[in-house]
Homo-oligomer: A and B are copies of this chain.
């Protein structure tokens, strides 16, 4: 679980990243506490700043629906927007 906290612009990048919305996400616990360090994730679900999201890493990140590019370098995707957390 992570929170979207910003975005990055990168003009010079691998061809597989062109057109991707690259967001900065902060991994969090259920209580919202920031854990570990921020990461850059390709947004596959239209997540907005401040939303809590589901991340997929590694090969899973490249399986996201809109992700069908050859030689994809992406290794972290936002794959869901969290509506509610029950703990």
**Chain A residues in the interface with B (C-beta under 8 A):** 1, 5-17, 22, 24, 27, 29-30, 35-40, 44-46, 54, 56-65, 67, 71-75, 77, 79-87
Contacts and interface: CB of A to CB of B under 8 A. Distances in A.
A38 B54 CA distance: 12
Oligomeric state, in number of copies? 5
Contacts of A58: 58-60, 75
B24 A83 contact: no
B54 A84 contact: no
Given A17-B79, A83-B11, A60 B62 contact: yes
Contact of A85 (B11, B24, B59): B24
A1 B12 contact: no
